[in-house]
Amino acid sequence: MTIQKYFVCLLLLLAGTAQAQQLAPAEKIETKKGTLTVQPILHASLALQWDNKTIYVDPTGGAKAFAGMTDPDLILITDIHGDHLDLKTLEALNTSKARIIAPQAVVNQLPESMKAKAVVLTNGEKTTQLSIPITAVPMYNLPETADSRHPKGRGNGYVLEMGGKRIYLSGDTEDIPEMRSLKDIDVAFVCMNLPYTMDINQAAAAVLAFKPNVVIPYHYRGQNGLSDVAAFKQLVADGKKKIEVRLLQWYPEK
């Protein structure tokens, strides 16, 4: 290798390392089958790594947002809006080995190459992929109206079972009965951003109703900036239900 090629390779390696270091701190959750790593990406986008499997949830931000991450084995998409379904990001990522789990409204918008490896789930339906049971659950706005941003049945929240842990991803929803009736949730990712989903008071009331062991606020950027997740944490603590609130870094620090 010439000295010039050596320095080119070194610069590329350093650039890749710098990109990887831009990822927010990851969260670790212990399961009966090893550690589940939660990697916040941005807003509703995250990655889950467990048992040598990588799951991307609502990937957005282009390939650079996932620099340093393992290519996905599964991709979960909750809804058709651009902060959940980002075709440019899907096309930029290496999805060659990935199965896509999504509602019909999302699959309708995928290119043909991706439709071929998509599994359509409607609310209440289940599938098992890579030995991970996945259930689609409702996500919608209240009151239910014809012009709702998120009508019932179009999008999916998801419950995943991984190493004896039940993981809930709310998607875009309000404090709906189906959320309140969830059982045995170990970790819940719950949205809270007006006017698209719900405020922190609604989110806290819902969490106190279904009592997950751990709740992680995500998707909390709204029209007036970021929701006060510290206040949400206090509301949950005031409910005295022994629910742990973990605050992760979902947005770039100013």
pLDDT at res. 21: 45
Residues of the chain with pLDDT under 70: 1-21, 254
Q: Which residue has the tokens 């959750």?
A: 29
DSSP three-state, residue 91: helix
- Distance between alpha carbon 134 and the CA centroid of its chain, in Å? 14
User: pLDDT tens digit string along 82-137?
Assistant: 999 999 999 999 999 999 999 999 999 999 999 999 999 999 999 999 999 999 99
CB-based contacts of 142, cutoff 8 Å, min separation 6? 174, 175, 176
Q: Does residue 249 contact residue 218 with C-beta atoms inside 8 Å?
A: no
pLDDT at res. 254: 66
What does the alpha-carbon distance between residue 136 and residue 171 come to, in Å, rounded to a whole number? Answer: 11
In words, the CATH class of domain 26-245 is alpha beta
Closest CA to 78 of 57, 93, 63, 94: 57
pLDDT at res. 6: 35
State the pTM of this model: 0.90
Closest CA to 198 of 156, 235, 163, 170: 170
